[in-house]
Structure 1
Amino acid sequence: MSSARRAVPTAGAWAALLNAPAVAARELARAELPNVPGVYLRKRDGEPVYVGMATSLRGRAGGKHLGGGVSLAGSSLRRNVCELLFGIPPNVTGRPTRQKVTTEQAAAVRNWLLGCELSWLEVPSVAAADELERRLRREYLPPLNRV
């Protein structure tokens, strides 16, 4: 992994994340993401919309959020995009026993996410990723994050 993507949490972490190389989600192969802890940013039309943390960037940013199933219980990002697109509140789709979306709605959520760009920062530990994500969410308040 290039040093351009390696970062240690600092006061300038938001700027570092915004300036990290961005890859179109549609063009990103899961194997291109590192299997390490980190923080990732999704941008849509150049605007930051979501920041998340991962124990494995490959597993979370490259896989879990792009699920195509009709249950949105495993991804707060998918639930929040569903609310944006269809007005269905996340508390309605948030548990496996709660409302599932239609196949068409699930496909629309996935396509919306594939229309984003993804950038990320690797961090030394899961604890560092968790702390950095919390700080970035508080400082910026991306529209698809809940605080």
Structure 2
Amino acid sequence: MRELARAQVPDEPGVYLWRHAGQPVYVGMATSLRGRAWSKHLGRGLSLAGSSLRRNVCQLLFGIPPNVTGRPTKQKVTIEQAAAIRDWLLACELSWLPCATVHEADHLERRLRAEFLPPLNRV
């Protein structure tokens, strides 16, 4: 992720896959790959409300459940925690597959979740 530029991620519907240490950890679907896979999940803010991936990484690193950080009015993380979450994500690899429609992306996301069973996706 550290070498990837935002402009390299397509601004179209599709499915994205985050890998950490080579292992699939999260599969997501987006109407805009750039907006969701890049901007939302790599946010720098202290609120985790806009990204289930960031909330799940927060639980992995700090033991704070996603339901505690899931809404804008809920608990926000510290500056240090937000930086650690971002660093963890920047150590990941991101791949994506653009799709012709959102419906196609939704179908592919479900198939990949069932195949990979990524630990940071909630069932």
Is 1:94 matched up with 2:70? yes
- How far apart are residue 39 of structure 1 and its match? 0.5
Runs of 4+ in 1 over 3 A off after TM superposition: none
- How far apart are residue 57 of structure 1 and its match? 0.8
CA distance in 2, matches of 1:44, 1:139: 17
Unaligned 5+ segments in structure 2 are: none
- How far apart are residue 140 of structure 1 and its match? 2.2
Unaligned 5+ segments in structure 1 are: 1-24
TM-score for the superposition, normalised by structure 1: 0.81
Partner in structure 1 of residue 57 of structure 2 = 81
**Aligned-partner SS, 2:12:** coil
Partner in structure 2 of residue 67 of structure 1 = 43
Deviations 1:85-132 (A, max 9, x none): 000000000011111110100010001000000111111111111121
Question: Which structure: larger Rg?
Answer: 1
- How many pairs does the alignment contain? 123
CA RMSD, Structure 1 to Structure 2 (Å)? 0.8
Partner in structure 1 of residue 112 of structure 2 = 136
- How far apart are residue 138 of structure 1 and its match? 2.4
Is 1:58 matched up with 2:34? yes
Partner in structure 1 of residue 18 of structure 2 = 42
Q: Percent identity?
A: 76
Q: What amino acid is the match of 2:102?
A: V
CA distance in 2, matches of 1:62, 1:28: 10
